[in-house]
Structure 1
Amino acid sequence: MNVSRIALATGIAASSVLLLSGTAFAHVSVQPQGEAAKGGYATVNFKVPNERDNASTVKLEVNLPTEHPLSSVMPQPVPGWKVEVTKSKLAKPLQVHGKQITEAVSKVTWTADGSKIGPGQFQQFPLSLGKLPEDADQLVFKALQTYDNKEVVRWIEEAKEGAAEPESPAPVLKLSAATGDEHGGGAKDASAKDGKNAGHDEDTKSEEASDSSSDTTARILGIVGILVGVAGVAFGVLAGRRRTS
């Protein structure tokens, strides 16, 4: 009886570890390729993982912040997906390079067209953005993720300082200090010459390595949990047979 209870408990523990490792990094997020400096331009990736075991992601809608409209938004083609860019009239026109901009992109939608994001997979959707605001430290992009079973996950909750992370956080793009180069290339070149920002690239690499390490650890824990659970069940079955004999 004790052996059977141990096997059952071990199996439950293994399942719990697997569930936790699978959802720990399952948020839709936005990540810059290089720096996203205030007043400049940047290419970012919206990373969309599939959270479900029995459905595939077939649509992503990204709403751009209306309080900081961007005059230039260009999607990069993604094979197997069609993209639609929606523009809206601005309450207050923008002045960009001496020109008045009266409308800006308010939403970008990717819809599966021969492809989809299956269970255990993720997809990245690149956008070129600019001119990034100079009076903000971050941009919040509210996103909707649609599955082929008609389920819609709304990644629209904004994190509050000092509070726990919301259940469905909106993707947030952190903006770094202005570089003096609208295209974001001047700062890196300058740092290579004068050494003022020499540690930035190392910090970025460290953060990426940390994220990768955390993801790998979670996957290893999940696999170990499964193996331990299987071993526990097998041990319980063998013990039962011995008693019967």
Structure 2
Amino acid sequence: MRSKLRASSRALVAAAITGAALSITVAAGAPPASAHVHVDAANPAPGSTTVLTFRVPGESDGGALTTQFSVTLPDVASARTEVMPGWTARLDRDAGAGTVRSVTWTAGPSTGISGEQFALFRVSVTLPDQPSVTLPATQTYSDGKVVRWDQAPLPGGGEPEYPAPVLALTGTAEDGHDHPAPSAAPSTAPPAAPDVSVTATPQESASTGDDTARWLAGGALVLAAVAVVASILRRKSA
């Protein structure tokens, strides 16, 4: 019986080791998931003003840094970039239409995104009144390589090599109008009774204080007399 149990245990251990080895082999042979430029926003609603956040990873295999990132905007009515240390931002405006067509961030000296890093670029915009918005982007590296994230989804719903960031405008527009508060209903409670409490005058307060002091002094004398009488009686009884 013991030999059978030992054999079963050895078989289970061998199977576990084989499964772990296969898992490691599959993981090592699987291609790494590609990192893309993504855009996100909190409660993006058509026609609303929101902050777009672009997540930009460094993807250079040769150690080059991402030193510039630009996004094409759908001619938004207004745009405002967030302060980003080490980077400068420039808005490309259409002087005739008064809209913003694109925004470009440029890294300062000794600044950039390496292959082991990512950065978040934020811009506040007024979204167009439509179900979704496509935001083509361009990523430039320090070695001169330029990657354009502007490809549409493949037929059948597949993802291309360099997909353009797309934001679905599924949020709910907030009501920015001020509504007056409802007027209070007339009170049906009877009017409060007038305050008839009487406040003592300074003279009356002083008089009351003197009377109290006299009564306390008299009480103290009575107690002292009682104590003296009790002491005399105890001595006589002894």
TM bucket (normalised to shorter chain) is: 0.5 to 0.7
For 2:165 and 2:101, the matched residues in 1 are separated by: 15
Q: 1:39 to 1:78 in 2, by over 3 A?
A: same
Aligned-pair RMSD on alpha carbons? 2.5
**Contact 2:69 2:137 (8 Å CA) reproduced:** yes
2:195 equivalent in structure 1: none
Map 1:32-111 onto structure 2 (within 5 A): 32=41, 34-53=42-61, 54-65=63-74, 69-89=75-95, 102-111=97-106
Larger CA Rg, structure 1 vs 2: 2
1:179 counterpart = 2:185: no
Q: 1:178 to 1:56 in 2, by over 3 A?
A: same
Mean alpha-carbon deviation: is it higher for 48-57 or for 137-146?
48-57
Task: Find the residue that maps to 1:45 and give its secondary structure.
Answer: strand
Deviation track 1:20-68 (CA, whole Å, cap 9, x = no partner) reads 14x2xx1111111x21111211011111001123211111011112xxx
Map 1:1-245 onto structure 2 (within 5 A): 15-17=28-30, 19-21=31-33, 23=34, 26-32=35-41, 34-53=42-61, 54-65=63-74, 69-89=75-95, 102-114=97-109, 115-130=111-126, 132-134=127-129, 136-159=130-153, 162-181=156-175
For 1:61 and 1:162, the matched residues in 2 are separated by: 29
Could you tell me which amino acid in structure 1 is paired with residue 164 of structure 2? A
Q: CA shift at 1:113, angstroms?
A: 0.7
Q: CA shift at 1:89, angstroms?
A: 4.3
Q: 1:182 to 1:57 in 2, by over 3 A?
A: farther
Could you tell me which amino acid in structure 1 is paired with residue 112 of structure 2? K
Task: Find the residue that maps to 2:139 and give its secondary structure.
Answer: strand
Gaps spanning 5+ residues in structure 1: where? 1-8, 91-101, 184-245
Deviation track 1:99-130 (CA, whole Å, cap 9, x = no partner) reads xxx32111111011132001110000001011
Gaps spanning 5+ residues in structure 2: where? 1-21, 178-238
Task: Find the residue that maps to 2:68 and give its secondary structure.
Answer: strand
By percentage of residues, which structure has more helix?
1
2:198 equivalent in structure 1: none
Could you tell me which amino acid in structure 1 is paired with residue 56 of structure 2? V
How many equivalent residue pairs? 154
Q: Which has the higher contact order (CA 8 A, sep 6+)?
A: 1
Identical columns (%): 35
